[in-house]
């Protein structure tokens, strides 16, 4: 997903006094002054850390650094890793990490930049390795993939950096070493410090090389403000399950969507599942707005729901109907969807024709549906709403 459009003040008003350059921290100060965001000391400090990245990537030489000579040299020599390769923002849920990264990203003046959900990026890396393997029987294909990635973007911004999968864990150290050697600069958001990633995972010792790499070459910045801004927004709505459908319900969902995305511009997200594309038309800032029909009246299954649950921290679902016995397939899909959202701690805001316990009163699997009802109840609790999203 690309960064969304956020209303920001004109850069000319936000020049940093000392350097004369418009920095992310100066922009943040301006947004606070304009009342667009609330002042938060931890965020202001994180923005100062992003200033360093900003100055590095907006240097006119940055995009040219991987020129012909350095390419020739790197084919014979093993290039040194630059000391500073980017910033790793981490902290609890709703502290504004993605928001800060988006503000920074929009300001960066270079073309070769990319913002991507980390889960989607790793999927893509594996797919590219696979594609190269179809062409050649060569074993070490990661450098080829990194060449492609580095040609396409010299600044990579990753949202929701998490590691759960052993195949990811095993290649991360090499992948990032190669990216850094190519001069790629990285900014990430995560709920965990690098040393706490992949806790208890298979072959964790091998993953530790990645932790060392990150700690040595990235500025690790904790954002530990006292406020979970997302929870505040959700609490302001008093409910996340709106037990009726129609115009009022739609308005309620619309207000929730605007608040959670800070009215960022919506765009479609193409979710790739086993070579198929599922398009979600209305998405922004990690939030997807869908209808019940879109997700449960089409032949989608667990794999599709899993990808959606990985990519979005919040799903807004409109018009969940009362399901009659003939709608057993729709009911079954809804059960699978809710199970998947629940397992990934995706927040659900929805409108439904009836309270959860009255949605599927009779029909195949209506007894098992009770578990879904219980999950729907739990997903409305403050405890659930403040849990971190799990994106694998
Ligand atoms: N200082 C602030 N003033 C007003 N709104 C804010 C502020 N900081 C964050 N928000 C809003 O709070 C919500 C949560 O912020 P964001 O999504 O950036 O959190 P996060 O740290 O990335 O959370 P997670 O760990 O779940 O990914 C967003 O809608 C964001 O725009
Ligand atoms: Mg985030």
What's the pTM?
Answer: 0.89
The whole-number pLDDT of residue 3 equals: 43
Does residue 161 surpass a pLDDT of 50? Answer: yes
Contact (Cβ atoms closer than 8 angstroms) between residue 228 and residue 321: no
Q: Which domain holds residue 95?
A: 11-222
User: Where does the chain have alpha helices with state H?
Assistant: 24-34, 41-57, 68-76, 97-107, 118-135, 142-152, 166-181, 204-217, 229-236, 247-261, 292-296, 302-311, 328-343, 369-378, 382-385
User: How far apart, in Å, are the Cα atoms of 188 and each of 101, 107, 118, 132, 254?
Assistant: 8, 16, 9, 27, 29
Triad 157, 277, 256: Cα angle to 5°: 60
51 located within any domain = yes
Q: Among 145, 151, 99, 141, which Cα is nearest to 125's?
A: 145
* CATH number for the domain harbouring residue 331: 3.40.50
Same domain, residue pair 306 and 276: yes
Q: Give the residue whose CA is nearest to atom 26 of ligand 1.
A: 93
Ligand 1 proximal residues by C-beta, below 6 Å: 37-38, 40, 43, 93-99, 160, 189, 191, 229-230, 260, 262, 313, 388-389
pLDDT category at 107 given cuts 50, 70, 90 is very high
The whole-number pLDDT of residue 22 equals: 86
Same domain, residue pair 85 and 213: yes
Rounded to 10°, the helix 24-34/97-107 angle is 110
Same domain, residue pair 260 and 376: yes
175 located within any domain = yes
187 located within any domain = yes
Same domain, residue pair 172 and 257: no
Residue 51 dihedral angles phi and psi, to the nearest 5°: -55, -40
Q: Which two tokens stand for residue 185?
A: 């600069």
Q: Work out the burial of residue 246: count CB atoms within 10 Å of its CB; fewer than 13 is exposed, 13-18 middle, 19 or more buried.
A: exposed
CA of 39 to the centre of ligand 1 (A): 12
- Please tell me the least confidently modeled range out of 13-17, 122-126, 234-238, 314-318: 13-17
Does residue 73 surpass a pLDDT of 70? Answer: no
- Please tell me the least confidently modeled range out of 5-9, 267-271, 376-380: 5-9
The whole-number pLDDT of residue 4 equals: 46
- Name the residue of 106, 160, 229 whose CB sits within 8 Å of the most ligand 1 atoms, as the mutation to test its pocket: 229
User: How far apart, in Å, are the Cα atoms of 35 and each of 8, 9, 25, 32, 138?
Assistant: 11, 11, 15, 5, 56
The whole-number pLDDT of residue 13 equals: 45
Same domain, residue pair 51 and 191: yes
Triad 378, 381, 385: Cα angle to 5°: 105
Does residue 51 surpass a pLDDT of 90? Answer: yes
Same domain, residue pair 24 and 43: yes
Same domain, residue pair 96 and 126: yes
pLDDT category at 19 given cuts 50, 70, 90 is low
pLDDT (tens digit, 9 = 90+) per residue, 354-366?
999 999 999 999 9
pLDDT category at 1 given cuts 50, 70, 90 is very low
- Pick the atom of ligand 1 nearest to 100's CA: 18
5 located within any domain = no
Residue 272 dihedral angles phi and psi, to the nearest 5°: -95, 125
pLDDT category at 12 given cuts 50, 70, 90 is very low
Check residues 294 and 22 and name the one with the higher pLDDT: 294
Q: Among 251, 254, 309, which Cα is nearest to 280's?
A: 309
Strands 155-159, 185-190: parallel, antiparallel or unpaired by DSSP? parallel
User: How far apart, in Å, are the Cα atoms of 290 and each of 16, 280, 318, 373, 389?
Assistant: 42, 7, 6, 20, 19
- Please tell me the least confidently modeled range out of 19-23, 200-204, 286-290, 318-322: 19-23
The whole-number pLDDT of residue 71 equals: 56
Alpha-carbon distance 231 to 387, whole Å?
10
Q: Among 224, 365, 379, 220, which Cα is nearest to 315's?
A: 379
Residue finishing a domain among 206, 222, 238: 222
Does residue 229 surpass a pLDDT of 50? Answer: yes
Same domain, residue pair 203 and 296: no
The whole-number pLDDT of residue 277 equals: 93
42 located within any domain = yes
Residue finishing a domain among 222, 248, 268: 222
* CATH number for the domain harbouring residue 67: 3.40.50.300
- Please tell me the least confidently modeled range out of 3-12, 210-219, 351-360: 3-12
The whole-number pLDDT of residue 140 equals: 84
- Name the residue of 45, 94, 160 whose CB sits within 8 Å of the most ligand 1 atoms, as the mutation to test its pocket: 94
Same domain, residue pair 49 and 188: yes
299 located within any domain = yes
Contact (Cβ atoms closer than 8 angstroms) between residue 138 and residue 105: no
Same domain, residue pair 15 and 35: yes
- Please tell me the least confidently modeled range out of 60-69, 96-105, 165-174: 60-69
Same domain, residue pair 36 and 62: yes
The whole-number pLDDT of residue 50 equals: 98
256 located within any domain = yes
What residues contact residue 77 under an 8 Å CB cut-off, 6+ apart? none
**221, β-bridge pairs:** 89
Does residue 75 surpass a pLDDT of 90? Answer: no
Q: Which ligand is nearest to the CA of 257?
A: 1
User: What average pLDDT does the structure give for the chain?
Assistant: 91
296 located within any domain = yes
Q: Among 292, 288, 297, which Cα is nearest to 269's?
A: 288
The whole-number pLDDT of residue 33 equals: 97
The whole-number pLDDT of residue 2 equals: 41
Mean pLDDT of 61-81: 65
Q: Which two tokens stand for residue 216?
A: 């040595």
Q: Which residue has the tokens 């009342």?
A: 35
The whole-number pLDDT of residue 9 equals: 61
pLDDT (tens digit, 9 = 90+) per residue, 321-344?
999 999 999 999 999 999 999 999
Provide the number of structural domains found in the chain: 2
- Pick the atom of ligand 1 nearest to 223's CA: 21
Q: Which ligand is nearest to the CA of 232?
A: 1
Alpha-carbon distance 65 to 67, whole Å?
5
Same domain, residue pair 286 and 342: yes
Alpha-carbon distance 224 to 40, whole Å?
10
Residue finishing a domain among 202, 222, 242: 222
């Amino acid at each position: 997903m690309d960064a969304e459009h956020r209303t920001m003040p004109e850069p000319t008003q936000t020049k940093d006094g000392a350097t004369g350059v418009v920095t992310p921290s100066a922009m943040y100060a301006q947004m606070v002054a304009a009342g667009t965001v609330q002042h938060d000391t931890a965020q202001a400090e994180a923005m100062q850390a992003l200033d360093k990245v900003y100055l590095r990537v907006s240097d006119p030489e940055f995009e040219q650094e991987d020129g012909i000579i350095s390419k020739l040299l790197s084919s014979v020599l093993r290039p040194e890793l630059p000391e500073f390769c980017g910033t790793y923002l981490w902290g609890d849920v709703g502290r504004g990490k993605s928001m800060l990264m988006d503000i920074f990203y929009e300001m960066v003046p270079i073309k070769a930049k990319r913002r991507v959900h980390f889960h989607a990026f790793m999927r893509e890396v594996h797919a590219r390795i696979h594609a190269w393997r179809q062409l050649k029987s060569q074993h070490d294909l990661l450098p080829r993939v990194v060449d492609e990635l580095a040609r396409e973007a010299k600044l990579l911004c990753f949202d929701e950096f998490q590691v759960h999968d052993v195949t990811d864990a095993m290649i991360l150290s090499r992948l990032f070493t190669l990216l850094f050697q190519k001069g790629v600069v990285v900014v990430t958001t995560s709920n965990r410090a690098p040393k706490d990633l992949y806790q208890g995972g298979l072959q964790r010792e091998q993953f530790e090389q990645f932790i060392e790499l990150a700690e040595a070459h990235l500025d690790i910045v904790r954002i530990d403000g006292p406020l979970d801004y997302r929870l505040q927004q959700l609490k302001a709505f008093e409910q996340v399950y709106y037990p009726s459908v129609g115009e009022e319900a739609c308005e309620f969902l619309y207000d929730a969507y605007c608040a959670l995305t800070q009215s960022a511009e919506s765009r479609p997200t193409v979710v790739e599942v086993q070579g198929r594309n599922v398009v979600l038309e209305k998405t922004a800032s990690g939030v997807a707005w869908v209808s019940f029909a879109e997700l449960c009246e089409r032949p989608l299954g667990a794999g599709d729901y899993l990808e959606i649950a990985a990519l979005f921290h919040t799903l807004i679902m409109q018009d969940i109907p009362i399901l009659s016995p003939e709608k057993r397939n729709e009911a079954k899909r809804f059960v699978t969807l809710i199970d998947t959202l629940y397992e990934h701690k995706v927040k659900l805001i929805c409108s439904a024709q009836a309270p959860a316990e009255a949605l599927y009163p009779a029909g195949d699997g209506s007894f098992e549906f009770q578990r879904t009802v219980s999950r729907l109840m739990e997903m409305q609790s403050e405890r659930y709403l403040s849990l971190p999203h799990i994106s694998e």
